[in-house]
Amino acid sequence: MAKNKFNQNWVHDHINDPYVKLAQKEGYRARAVYKLKEIDESEKLIKPGQIIVDLGATPGSWSQYVRNKLAGKDGGGILGEIFALDLLPMDPIADVQFIQGDFREDEVLNQLEAQLKGRKVDLVLSDMAPNLSGIPTADAARVEYIIELAVAFANAHLKPSGALLVKCFHGPSYNNIVDMFKSEFKTVANKKPKASKDKSSEIFLLGKGLKNPS
């Protein structure tokens, strides 16, 4: 009974969520887009001409936002390139090059690198999060692992001046993750956009400028 009540409450909150309504009105696939939008507007992350990688992109709202920011090429198209990667399928988005698969696997990385043709990336975005179990220590380890993967990916592919934005959570591993960011990036900031629910421990970490570019 309690579970049904929780589901009903979630559905009620979701339907009445202003960001859900706004996403539907503006044609975005998920309310998460407004988290990226707020961070981008304060940090000026996304600019025409950039090469941007969206890790864990499905359903695609972040890629949609990036695409809109890079739009403006004469005759349609975008100024820049967007690569979206995810284990799950994603409905196509104009001008976004989607690779389905695990970015830890050589086959997927080879596909990306073939399209990058030796070029480095300006910005890596990751809205990835593990399936949480409710066991704090286990969940903290999973969050930390996913962010480690994103940092390793960024280290291998970013320009020296590039940036990485990841979803994180306050919890037992948070300080370790911040320390890891500080060891890899020249500047590190945490961001709690208004579209993140107040009761959520979700927070975003932004690292700019690689300390040890490859």
Binding residues for S-adenosyl-L-methionine: 60, 62, 86, 102, 127
Could you say which of 35, 37, 69, 167 is catalytic? 167
Residue 33, judged by CB atoms within 10 A of its CB (0-12, 13-18, 19+), counts as buried
Let me know: does 190 contact 203? Beta carbons within 8 Å: yes
The annotation places the binding site at 60, 62, 86, 102, 127
Task: Let me know if 208 is a catalytic residue.
Answer: no
C-alpha closest to that of 213 among 178, 173, 164? 164
* Distances, alpha carbon 195 to alpha carbons 55, 70, 141, 173, 205, in Å: 20, 23, 25, 23, 15
Residue 132, judged by CB atoms within 10 A of its CB (0-12, 13-18, 19+), counts as middle
Distance CA 37, CA 87 (A): 24
Distance CA 182, CA 175 (A): 10
Distance CA 110, CA 107 (A): 5
Let me know: does 128 contact 151? Beta carbons within 8 Å: no
C-alpha closest to that of 130 among 154, 106, 112, 147? 147
1-9, Cβ contacts within 8 angstroms, sequence gap of 24 or more: none
As annotated, the active-site residues are 167
